[in-house]
Structure 1
Amino acid sequence: MARLVLPNYPPHVVQRGHNKQVVFADAADFENYLAKLRELKQALAVKVYAFCLTTNHVHLLLDPGDDPTALAKLMKVLGARTTRYRNRLEGRTGTLWESRYRSSIVQNGTHLLACTRYIELNPIRARMVAHPRNYPWSSFNTRFDTTPGADWLDEVPCFESAGLVPDEKRARYATLIEQGVPTSEIQLIRDALQRGQLTSNSVFVYEIEKITGLRITNRGRGRPW
């Protein structure tokens, strides 16, 4: 099934290590990946709304901007550089990642915020930490870092257009985090990724169908649109 990527529509991307192998073994590995992500974000004009890295997979919430091919370019270069880095450390050759990353276009507004929260609460669901502030490899702490230049994330569009000052945005988002992710949201996000469909409501599905000329409906797991 062809991956759906459209200009200025953000996808939630998940990439896993091949056969669930370790991708990040220590702090230097995580830092190396994030440094490359930040570099490629600037070079390709891709927006980064959220991220979470675990030992064997990554979650990214990105926006390719006006050039939809920028997403594939970023993932290809980022994956290749991480593979070379890991192979040099271990004196090995071969693949590091699964051959195909998963992606799901996310509707702006509540769905985009829900996906951001889902990504940053991933370490909580995995019982790795008690609060996202205790996990150093997600975008949560970056989002709340007020040190000049430290917060390199892009503003989630619905917050950007709300006319709130930065402290108000952080307070509102902190409240969303404390509420946790409802089971219905978790299921919607996971199903959309599994099927390569949309994280959205039915109105948005219709909008994308009109744009693409494709039939995009929720069907059984693994079946085409």
Structure 2
Amino acid sequence: MALAGHLHHLIHRGHNLQPIAQDDDDRRALLAALQDCAATHKVAIHAYVVMPNHLHLLVTPSTDDGLSRTMQALGRRYVAAYNQRHSRVGTLWEGRFRAAPIEAEAYLLPVMRSIELNPQRAGLVQDPADYVWSSAAHHLGRRRDPLLTDPPGFWALGNTPFERELAWRRLLEEGEQESERKRLVDAALKGWPLGSARFLQLLGDVSERPLTPRPRGRPPKIKPVPI
């Protein structure tokens, strides 16, 4: 489910958790294709990380089908180039991408942080800013990334770039609870929105899809009331 104007946490994994890029040239090609496809279909990218076998994005599509169109275009463009470069055929991704809308007020910064902590958590770097293939260096003031559009919630961290970068550094150093990380990932993989009751009601008004998991098993039998 993707809804125009709402933040979405997206995860796209390699087939059988195989690598989605073999070297830095692949990673550059993936991000270049992502930038072009997102611009074409009017999807703002707020945070990202290219991990060895999966991709995380935090995005806002401007149309209901913009996110799907972006990822379809990315698949056609990047996978074709990847297969040609590495003399292979077949799929690269594990089926369709997974994504869920999230409420900005409550989950923008936690999801951004979780995305940018991925390389550190995996032991690839000690400092998230040192990982070239994520948005962390941009948000910490190391470089300006043309792929990114900073959301209002990030601007609210401070009145100047220095204040925002310092506040973001503190949030990254604070880290996240493993239970929180699993909750964010699980919601994205299963497509369940994250937010307040008011947010879920708002989404329910514009979506026919169930917004919360159904109870497992058969519904309980209702005993007839004696008359």
Same structural fold, with TM-score higher than 0.5 when normalized by the shorter chain: yes
Query: In structure 2, how many angstroms separate the alpha carbons of the residues matched to 1:37 and 1:185?
Result: 28
Q: Secondary structure at the match of 2:16?
A: helix
Query: Residue 16 of structure 2 aligns to which amino acid in structure 1?
Result: N
Query: Residue 169 of structure 2 aligns to which amino acid in structure 1?
Result: A
Query: Residue 12 of structure 1 aligns to which amino acid in structure 2?
Result: H
- Indicate whether 1:31 and 2:28 are aligned: yes
RMSD of aligned Cα (Å): 2.1
- Indicate whether 1:204 and 2:204 are aligned: no
8 Å CA contact 1:145, 1:151 repeated in 2: no
Query: In structure 2, how many angstroms separate the alpha carbons of the residues matched to 1:143 and 1:68?
Result: 27
Query: Residue 193 of structure 1 aligns to which amino acid in structure 2?
Result: A
| Other-structure match for 2:65 | 69
- Aligned ranges for residues 158-177 of structure 1 at < 5 Å? 158-160=153-155, 164-177=159-172
Query: Residue 87 of structure 1 aligns to which amino acid in structure 2?
Result: N
Query: In structure 2, how many angstroms separate the alpha carbons of the residues matched to 1:23 and 1:195?
Result: 21
Shift in CA distance, 145/159, structure 1 to aligned 2, threshold 3 Å? closer
- Indicate whether 1:45 and 2:80 are aligned: no
Query: In structure 2, how many angstroms separate the alpha carbons of the residues matched to 1:132 and 1:201?
Result: 30
| Other-structure match for 1:21 | 18
Query: In structure 1, how many angstroms separate the alpha carbons of the residues matched to 2:65 and 2:97?
Result: 15
Q: Which deviates more, 194-203 or 114-123?
A: 194-203
- Indicate whether 1:58 and 2:58 are aligned: no
Rg (Cα) greater in structure: 2
Query: Residue 23 of structure 1 aligns to which amino acid in structure 2?
Result: I
8 Å CA contact 1:109, 1:157 repeated in 2: no
| Other-structure match for 2:219 | none
Query: In structure 1, how many angstroms separate the alpha carbons of the residues matched to 2:178 and 2:215?
Result: 19
Query: In structure 1, how many angstroms separate the alpha carbons of the residues matched to 2:129 and 2:157?
Result: 25
Encode CA deviations 1:104-123: one digit per residue, 9 max, x unaligned. 11111230110000000011
- Indicate whether 1:116 and 2:116 are aligned: no
8 Å CA contact 2:49, 2:57 repeated in 1: yes
Query: Residue 36 of structure 1 aligns to which amino acid in structure 2?
Result: A
Q: Which deviates more, 212-221 or 87-96?
A: 212-221
Shift in CA distance, 152/214, structure 1 to aligned 2, threshold 3 Å? closer
| Other-structure match for 2:9 | 12
Q: Secondary structure at the match of 2:104?
A: coil
- Indicate whether 1:187 and 2:189 are aligned: no
Q: Secondary structure at the match of 2:96?
A: coil
Query: In structure 1, how many angstroms separate the alpha carbons of the residues matched to 2:210 and 2:43?
Result: 27
8 Å CA contact 1:144, 1:151 repeated in 2: no
Q: Which deviates more, 173-182 or 138-147?
A: 138-147
Query: In structure 1, how many angstroms separate the alpha carbons of the residues matched to 2:196 and 2:127?
Result: 29
Query: In structure 1, how many angstroms separate the alpha carbons of the residues matched to 2:87 and 2:101?
Result: 37
8 Å CA contact 1:121, 1:132 repeated in 2: yes
Aligned counterpart for 1:141 among listed residues 137, 143, 151: 137
Long gaps (5+) in structure 1: none
How far apart are 1:163 and its partner, in Å? 6.8
Aligned length: 216
8 Å CA contact 2:129, 2:140 repeated in 1: no
Query: In structure 1, how many angstroms separate the alpha carbons of the residues matched to 2:31 and 2:37?
Result: 10
| Other-structure match for 1:80 | 76
| Other-structure match for 2:90 | 94
